[in-house]
Amino acid sequence: MTVYLAIDADRARTIAEDLLVESPREAGGFYALAAIRRGQRMRLLLGERFEVESHWDRQDVDLLTPNGQSISAAVSCSNSAGTGLAFVHTHPFDDRPPSLSAIDRRTAARLGRAFSDLIDGPFAALVVAPGGWGGAFVTAQGDLREIERIALVGRKLSVQAGRRQGRSRGIAFDDRQRRALGEASSAQLRSMHVTIVGVGGTGSPAAEILARMGVGRLTLIDPDIVEHSNVPRIFGAAASDVLQSRAKVDVVGDSVRRLGLGVDVLSVRGDIRDVVLQEHLLSADVVVGATDNHSSRAVMTELAVKAGLTFIDMGVRVGVRRNGDLDSLLLERRIQVPGGPCLWCWGRLDPSRIAEELLPADRKERLMAEGYVTGSAEAPEPSVTALTASAGAIASSGLLALLAGALAHQPLAVQIDTLSGLGARISGEDPDPDCICRKWKSTWFEPAGYKVGA
Ligand SMILES: [Zn+2]
Ligand SMILES: [Zn+2]
């Protein structure tokens, strides 16, 4: 099993400041922890601190062991909050991302076994240092699973790969791009893993542009094969791919690999509404949504809230006047960050359309014949390559906005008419308090219960 951890960037900074103040001695505390699992991947979310008075059996420069009293207080906090538990402690002298020491590992294994009967949720032992974060998920048997990647999320995104991962491969950065982004963002870009859901008109140029910008890893997900009608919009596709009935993910994946830029590309043919494929969302630092249906978006927006994922969703729409003249080529970019609005908050999902999309095929045919559903969810929307390619580019620059921290003072969701070139913000910088997303249990808002595998 591969384990990932997401921490709200502001919370991560506060925790580090709170705990490292006791430097040179180690310090620690107990925090709410949630976990969501799909297949062989688990994503942990670190929540609020439990106000437990800290008492230590040992507190020294290289050793910290919580005593029985503080452990039982932490257990009762996690039980009343209905969450799992994380023990976070410091390594005040580690200038690199830290890892658990041999003593830490023994303590964590012991706590993990003890907690398995006492708490109804995951347990993790985490360590924070001036050089970053590290740690492990601890199973009920006391086995440690090292955390592979740690994402500090919010309106600015940064990712820290675990110590086990070497420096990513790839050619040297484009010097002109490095001048634009700076060293730190360039290095972050190279270590990024982006999952693109839907590699049609918007997703395929996004894949190519992200690869050309130097993103280290791409996962492409799409169920469809290339058809004549979409060859003009799919970057990397040719008419011959239609004759061979090739899958879009294979065509786009091969085209990105041919660039020879050292990008690690995984092509996954399938539908994101299939729960089996959702592990590819949990492993991503950023998910780009480039599908044309509402039910896939609904799946992604919900999982993004529950798993603390950063989700860039793209939409396109061609506007035509009543007399048939082209009026607008609208694209929308909605960047859903943990703690921010979801697609439901922004009013971008239509429940009746989702219901229609999810009808079994035979039932839909019958209802269409009887006139109960229109079948409009299936009808091909008008589309123009200038629009979809722009959407791919704007999705890609969304990643730069996240890495550069530009969203601290820019809107999360925007609409651009690529015909006129005019843009506007979509209002909503905070979640709608009445939105369903506030009920999806998550440690981002409060340490309310969220269980492994839920
Ligand atoms: Zn330690
Ligand atoms: Zn919402």
71 C-alpha to ligand 1 centroid (Å): 17
Q: Residue 377 has which token pair?
A: 């969810």
Structural domain range at position 22: 2-156
Supply the pLDDT for residue 274. Answer: 95
pLDDT score of 427: 94
**Do 125 and 216 lie in a common domain?**
no
Report if residue 391 sits inside a domain: yes
355, part of any domain: no
Look at residue 369 and tell me if it is in a domain: no
Is residue 173 within 8 Å of residue 207, measured between CB atoms?
Answer: no
Task: Please tell me whether residues 149 and 256 are part of one structural domain.
Answer: no
Q: Are 331 and 415 within 8 A, CB to CB?
A: yes
Q: What pLDDT does residue 21 have? A: 87
Assess whether pLDDT exceeds 70 at residue 173. Answer: no
Cβ contact 99:49 at 8 Å? no
Under 8 Å between Cβ of 269 and 226:
no
Q: What is the pLDDT of residue 403?
A: 96
Does the structure show a pLDDT above 80 at 65?
A: no
How far apart are the CA of 412 and the centre of ligand 1, in A?
A: 38
Is 405 among the domain residues?
yes
Q: Which ligand is nearest to the CA of 58?
A: 1
Identify the domain boundary among 156, 184, 218. Answer: 156
327 φ, ψ to 5°?
Answer: -115, -40
CATH of the domain at 54: 3.40.140.10
Res 60: pLDDT = 65
pLDDT score of 371: 75
Residue 11 placed within a domain: yes
Strands (DSSP E) contained in 91-177 are: 123-129, 132-138, 144-153, 158-161
- Whether 147 and 220 map to the same domain: the answer is no
- Which of 66-80, 340-354, 358-372 is least confident? 358-372
Instruction: Provide the pLDDT for residue 378.
Output: 65
Residues 123 and 225 in one domain: no
pLDDT at 161: 81
Please check whether residue 356 lies inside any domain of the structure: no
126 shares a domain with 213:
no
> Six-digit token pair at 94?
């580690």
Give 72-81's long-range contacts (Cβ < 8 A, gap of 24+).
74/30, 74/50, 75/115, 75/118, 75/119, 77/30, 77/50, 77/51, 77/52, 78/30, 78/32, 78/50, 78/119, 78/121, 79/118, 79/119, 79/120, 81/32, 81/50, 81/447, 81/448, 81/449
Q: Which ligand is nearest to the CA of 342?
A: 2
* Whether residues 133 and 185 fall in one domain: no
Both 190 and 337 in a single domain? yes
Closest ligand, as measured to the CA of 433: 2
C-alpha 310/C-alpha 295 separation (Å) is 19
**What is the number of domains present in the chain?**
2
Q: Quote the ligand 2 centre to 275 CA distance (angstroms).
A: 21
Can you tell me the distance from the alpha carbon of 37 to that of 139, in angstroms, rounded to the nearest whole number? 14
Q: Which of 173-182, 345-354, 371-380 has the lowest mean pLDDT?
A: 371-380
Tell whether 105 and 249 lie within a shared domain: no
Is the pLDDT at 453 greater than 60? The verdict is: no
Least distant ligand from the CA of 336: 2
Measured in Å, residue 223 CA sits from the centre of ligand 2 at 27
% the chain with pLDDT above 70:
91
Residues, Cβ < 5 Å to ion ligand 2: 342, 344-345, 435, 437
Global ipTM: 0.96
Which ligand has an atom closest to residue 94 CA? 1
Within this chain, do residues 330 and 215 fall inside the same structural domain, yes or no? yes
SS3 label, residue 247: strand
Distance 438 CA to ligand 2 centre (A): 7
CA of 100 to the centre of ligand 1 (A): 6
Mean pLDDT, residues 150-163: 89
